[in-house]
């Protein structure tokens, strides 16, 4: 991923043309045709952007849905950025005061919380289409984003870290190739800490049947939301709500493991196609099970 400095175009995308000063340009009169190089936005270099996120694998940008959502937004905006993968809790705490990721670093300023990060990206790339232009559609889009980020996310979190059968599938996918000592430390310290987070939220206190029922209802709602077109609200390109849903759905079958979310998604072709289209708009192929020619 390139980190070369370039200018922003009117479309909120990096320009291939180097920045150049316009103060020394010779003026030939008021009738001279406007030169796109005179656009003041071209006088300033694009900010240096670094995304600190947990690693993913097998077509998934990050094991963390919020990290994945931010990377998808950066890619959809055609931003130039570097990814710095954080592989330990101690390293995460050096980047983030709370130890939570993602953290987006913009010219040295660090922003935590995926929703706040996308707010900033909307400002940096105002014409990139991260949110609808219509005010009412913007409200609905933000509701979809919060539904995915603040509600469905915790259901999946509890299934990953609290419910024993799905937790074992996830731990095998994430740490199956790690050393015995690493796996032992994860079970002694990391898993209990994640379980406490889920219990504080409330999702960790629910049984597996209740959690899976919430997954089914959430998928049904998303399917209804896509009835009018390829993306939410009948839009022809993804917005923040689409990115939030995709960041969750792409976690299904993480690193090739069969688990309940994947089985439920496969029964809803409209959601599978929505995920495929959203990832494609961001320049990502996605996991192997998502390709039309693959067999799970």
- Boundary (domain end) residue, out of 124, 157, 185: 124
pLDDT value at position 104? Answer: 98
Same domain, 102 and 197: no
Please, where are the H alpha helices in 147-230?
A: 153-161, 164-175, 180-185, 191-201, 208-225
- pLDDT of 267 > 70? The answer is yes
**Inside any domain, residue 206:** yes
Provide the 10 A C-beta neighbour count for residue 170. Answer: 21
Average pLDDT over residues 226-230: 93
Does 107 share its domain with 139? no
146: domain CATH number is 1.20.1050
Instruction: Please tell me which residue, 274 or 99, carries the higher pLDDT value.
Output: 274
Could you say which of 104, 124, 144 is where a domain stops?
A: 124
Say whether both 120 and 144 belong to one domain.
no
- pLDDT value of residue 291: 77
Q: Rounded CA gap, 125 and 181, in Å?
A: 45
Q: Is residue 31 part of a domain?
A: no
Same domain, 115 and 167: no
Return the minimum-mean-pLDDT range out of 1-15, 30-44, 170-184, 275-289.
1-15
102 vs 110: CA distance, rounded Å: 10
Boundary residue ending a domain (89, 124, 159): 124
pLDDT of residue 277: 97
Give the pLDDT score at 88.
Answer: 87
- Is residue 64, in this structure, part of any structural domain at all? yes
Asked if residue 188 and residue 113 are part of one domain, the reply reads no
**Residue 228: Cβ-neighbour burial (10 angstroms; 0-12, 13-18, 19+):** exposed
pTM above 0.85, yes or no: no
Q: Which residues pair with 110 in a beta bridge?
A: 105
Give the range of the structural domain holding residue 71, as residue numbers without chain letter.
36-124
Same domain, 111 and 249: no
Task: Give tens-digit pLDDT for 132-153.
Answer: 999 999 999 999 999 999 889 9
| 161 has pLDDT over 60 | yes
Mean pLDDT of the region 178-201: 94
Query: Domain count of the chain?
Result: 2
Looking at the structure, tell me whether residues 167 and 237 fall in a common domain: yes
* 76 and 172 assigned to the same domain: no
Residue 159 forms part of a structural domain = yes
Express each pLDDT in 199-221 by its tens digit.
999 999 999 999 999 999 999 99
Do 158 and 265 lie in one domain? The reply is yes
* Cβ proximity of 50 and 84 under 8 Å: yes
- What average pLDDT score do residues 161-169 get? 94
Calpha distance 244→72 (Å, rounded): 9
Q: How confident is the model at residue 292 (pLDDT cuts 50, 70, 90)?
A: low
The answer on 191 and 60 residing in a single domain is no
Residue 282 φ/ψ, nearest 5 degrees: -100, 5
Residue 102: inside a domain, yes or no?
yes
Q: Place 287 in a pLDDT band, splitting at 50, 70 and 90.
A: very high
Within a domain: 4: no
CATH of the domain at 65: 3.40.30.10
Domain shared by 83 and 142, yes or no: no
Q: Is residue 26 part of a domain?
A: no
Residues 145, 113 share a domain: no
Domain membership of residue 179 (yes or no) is yes
Whether residue 294 is predicted with pLDDT greater than 50 in this model: the reply is no
Q: What is the pLDDT of residue 192?
A: 96
């Amino acid at each position: 991923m390139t980190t070369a400095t370039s200018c922003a175009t009117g479309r909120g995308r990096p320009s291939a043309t180097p920045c150049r000063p316009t103060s020394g340009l010779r003026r030939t009169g008021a009738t001279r045709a406007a030169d796109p190089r005179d656009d003041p936005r071209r006088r300033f270099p694009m900010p240096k952007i670094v995304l600190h996120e947990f690693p993913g694998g097998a077509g998934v940008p990050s094991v963390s849905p919020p990290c994945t959502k931010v990377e998808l937004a950066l890619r959809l905006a055609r931003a130039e950025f570097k990814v710095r993968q954080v592989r330990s809790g101690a390293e995460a705490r050096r980047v983030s005061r709370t130890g939570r990721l993602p953290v987006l670093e913009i010219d040295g300023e660090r922003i935590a919380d995926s929703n706040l990060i996308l707010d900033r990206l909307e400002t940096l790339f105002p014409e990139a289409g991260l949110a609808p232009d219509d005010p009412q559609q913007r409200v609905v889009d933000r509701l979809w984003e919060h539904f995915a980020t603040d509600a469905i996310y915790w259901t999946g979190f509890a299934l990953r870290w609290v419910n024993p059968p799905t937790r074992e599938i996830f731990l095998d996918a994430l740490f199956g190739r790690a050393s015995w000592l690493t796996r032992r430390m994860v079970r002694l310290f990391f898993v209990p800490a994640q379980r406490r987070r889920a219990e504080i939220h409330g999702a960790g206190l629910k049984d597996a049947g209740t959690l899976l029922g919430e997954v089914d209802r959430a998928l049904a709602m998303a399917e209804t939301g896509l009835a009018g077109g390829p993306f939410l609200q009948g839009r022809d390109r993804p917005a923040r709500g689409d990115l939030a849903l995709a960041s969750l759905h792409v976690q299904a079958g993480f690193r090739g493991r069969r688990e309940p979310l994947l089985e439920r998604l496969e029964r809803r072709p409209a959601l599978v196609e929505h995920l495929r289209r959203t990832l494609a708009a961001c320049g990502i192929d996605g996991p192997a099970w998502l390709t039309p020619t693959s067999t799970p």
